[in-house]
A and B are shown apart, each in its own frame.
Chain A
Amino acid sequence: MAGTYASLQKLLKKCREFSLLGKISLLIILLIFLAAVWAPYISLHSHKISSGPALLPPGKGHPLGTDDLGIDLWAQLCHGARISLIVGFGTAFLAALGGGLVGIIAGYAGGWVDKVIMRLIDIMIVLPDFPLMIVLAAFLGPSVLNIIIVLALFSWVFPARIVRAQILMLKEHSFIKAAETYGAGAWYLLWKHFLPAVFPLMAVNMIRQTGRAIVSEAGLSFLGLGDPTSKSWGLIINHATSFRGIYFTEFWKWWLLYPWLALTLIVLSLAFISRELERIVNPRL
Chain B
Amino acid sequence: MGGNAVGQPHRLRFLEYGLTILIVITLNFLLPRVIPGDPFLVISSQSAAEEEIVLTAEQREFFFDYYGLDKSIGEQYVAYLGGLLRGNLGFSLYYKEPVSRIIMRRLGWTAFMVVSSLVLSTIIGSVLGCISAWHRDKWPDKFLFFKFIVLAEIPVFLLGLIILFVFAAGLGLFPLAGAVTHFARYKNCWEKIFDVLHHACLPVLVLTISRMGGMYLLSRNSMTTVLKKDYLRTARAKGLPERRVLYRHALRNALLPIVTRVFLSLGTLIGGAILVENVFAYPGLGLLMREAVRLHDYHLIQGIFLVVTLLVLLANFFADLVYAKLDPRVNQTNMQGG
Contacts and interface: CB of A to CB of B under 8 A. Distances in A.
Contacts of B290: 223-224
B26 to A, nearest CB: 12
Interface stretch (A3-11, A105-113, A124-132, A173-181): A124-132
A135 B24 CA distance: 12
Given A140-B35, A223-B278, A130 B161 contact: no
A31 interface: no
B102 to A, nearest CB: 16
B293 A134 contact: yes
Contacts of A256: 161, 165
Given A131-B270, A247-B168, A252-B169, 4 more contacts: A126-B267, A126-B312, A134-B293, A225-B293
A252 to B, nearest CB: 5
Contact of A126 (B20, B37, B305): B20
B161 A241 contact: yes
Contacts of A134: 274, 289, 293, 301, 305
B228 to A, nearest CB: 14
B326 interface: no
A223 B275 contact: yes
A123 B26 CA distance: 14
A271 B153 CA distance: 7
Interface size class of A (residues with CB under 8 A): 35 or more
A184 to B, nearest CB: 31
A264 interface: yes
B270 to A, nearest CB: 5
A166 B313 CA distance: 29
Interface of B, helix, strand, loop or mixed by DSSP? helix
Interface in A236-255: 237, 241, 247-248, 252
A8 B20 CA distance: 39
Nearest to B294: A224
Interface in B5-38: 5, 16, 19-20, 23-24, 28, 31-32, 35, 37
Interface string B151-181: 0011101100110010011000000100000
19 contacts: A119-B16, A122-B5, A126-B267, A127-B24, A128-B268, A129-B271, A130-B274, A131-B271, A131-B289, A134-B301, A135-B305, A139-B32, A140-B35, A222-B157, A223-B289, A224-B294, A237-B161, A252-B169, A264-B154
Contact of B312 (A128, A271, A272): A128
B302 interface: yes
Contacts of A123: 1, 19-20, 23
B334 interface: no
Interface string B264-293: 001110111011001100000000011001
Contact of B155 (A122, A136, A141, A263): A263
Interface centre among A130, A131, A247, A248 (most CB of B within 10 A): A131
B176 A247 contact: yes
Given A131-B304, A252-B165, A138 B293 contact: yes
Contact of A260 (B153, B161, B168, B268): B161
Interface in A133-158: 134-136, 138-141
B270 A128 contact: yes
Nearest to B165: A252
Contacts of B155: 215, 218-219, 263-264, 267
A260 B161 CA distance: 8
Contact of B169 (A128, A135, A224, A248): A248
Contacts of A131: 270-271, 274, 289, 304-305, 308-309
Nearest to B35: A139
A119 B279 CA distance: 36
A211 B153 CA distance: 10
Contacts of B28: 135
A122 B158 CA distance: 30
A135 B31 contact: yes
Nearest to A222: B157
A140 B298 CA distance: 12
Contacts of A132: 305, 309
A248 B168 CA distance: 10
Nearest to B42: A141
Interface centre among A138, A267, A275 (most CB of B within 10 A): A138
Contacts of B23: 123
Contacts of A271: 153
Interface string B126-169: 00000000000000000000000110011101100110010011
Contact of B293 (A129, A224, A252): A224
Top 5 A-B pairs, shortest CB-CB distance: A130-B271, A128-B267, A271-B153, A215-B155, A247-B169
Given A140-B35, A222-B278, A126 B316 contact: yes
B75 to A, nearest CB: 22
A113 B208 CA distance: 41
Contacts of A135: 28, 31, 301-302, 305
